Amino acid sequence: VSAAARTRARRGEGERLREEIIDAAERLLVSTGDEDAVSIRAIAQAVGVTPPSIYLHFADKESLVWAVCGRQFEIFDGILEAADATTDDPVEALRRRGEAYARFGLEHPEAYRIMFMGRSMSVDRHLDTLDKSGGTAFTHHLAAVQRAADAGALRAGVEPLQAAIFLWAGMHGITSLLISLASFPWPERDQLLRDMCELQLRALVEEAP
């Protein structure tokens, strides 16, 4: 990926570079697939600018990575909300959210890695970014479970928060295992994901009479 022809921003339009940097970092992150493989130098080259220019807009590399993550979280949340909105049945909505969750992870494994499989230290240092975007996504997830609870679909004794975490953990589990242990002899993937959702919901919803 070589340098694009880039014209210097006009006076007062310095913020333009910030967006270009995030775009380039996002592309590199997705294509190379490794946070460590995406260097300041590589990003600068992709934008068509010298490395020090990055520091005009980001305090350090970590801040840049998290700016990218913030965006990924918004996309992620958008996808799940969209999947949710395709049905009126709150239990079916949970299933569709779950499948969309896994699909996002498998289609954007590197973003997913940083968002949900990173080292907590770096996560801790950027809680504000995470709160805004990741927090929103979790709030939406919890709201979806609450709708199922309000519809009387959950078993007696199952708390919405507990159910929300259970669903999250299960879908995160299968998604991250598929990402990390790609060479494990998994059964057919689509069927596997459907089964996961199915079994998870069976634990939560009232048995059909």
Using the rule CB under 7 A, which residue among 24, 28, 40, 111 binds DNA?
Answer: 40
Residue 77: partners with Cβ closer than 8 Å, 6 or more residues away: 133, 136, 137, 140
Using the rule CB under 8 A, which residue among 59, 120, 156, 188 binds a second copy?
Answer: 120
Cα Rg of the chain (Å, integer) = 20
Return phi, psi of residue 205, to 5°: -90, 150
Q: Can residue 186 be called a binding residue for DNA (CB under 7 A)? A: no
Q: Which among 47-55, 88-96, 168-176, 191-199 is the span making contact with DNA, rule CB under 7 A? A: 47-55
Counting Cα atoms < 13 Å in the Cβ hemisphere of 125 gives 13
Q: Can residue 127 be called a binding residue for a second copy (CB under 8 A)? A: yes
Q: Can residue 119 be called a binding residue for DNA (CB under 7 A)? A: no
Per-residue binder mask for a second copy (CB under 8 A), 162-181, x = binder:
xx-xx-xxxxxxx-xx-xxx
2 binds, among a second copy, DNA, none (CB under 5 to 8 A by kind): none
- Taking the complex as a whole, the smallest distance from the CB of residue 30 to a second copy amounts, in Å, to 15
Look up residue 33 and give its DSSP letter: -
Return phi, psi of residue 152, to 5°: 75, 20
Which residues are 154's β-sheet partners? 205
149, with CB counted inside 10 A (0-12, 13-18, 19+), is middle
Using the rule CB under 7 A, which residue among 19, 34, 60, 131 binds DNA?
Answer: 60
The span from the CA of 118 to the CA of 72, in Å, is 14
The span from the CA of 24 to the CA of 113, in Å, is 18
Query: Which residues of the shown chain bind a second copy in the complex (CB under 8 A)?
Result: 34, 36, 116-120, 123-124, 127, 158, 161-163, 165-166, 168-174, 176-177, 179-183, 186-187, 192, 195-196, 199-200, 202-204, 207
Binding site for DNA (CB under 7 A): 8-17, 39-42, 49-56, 60-61
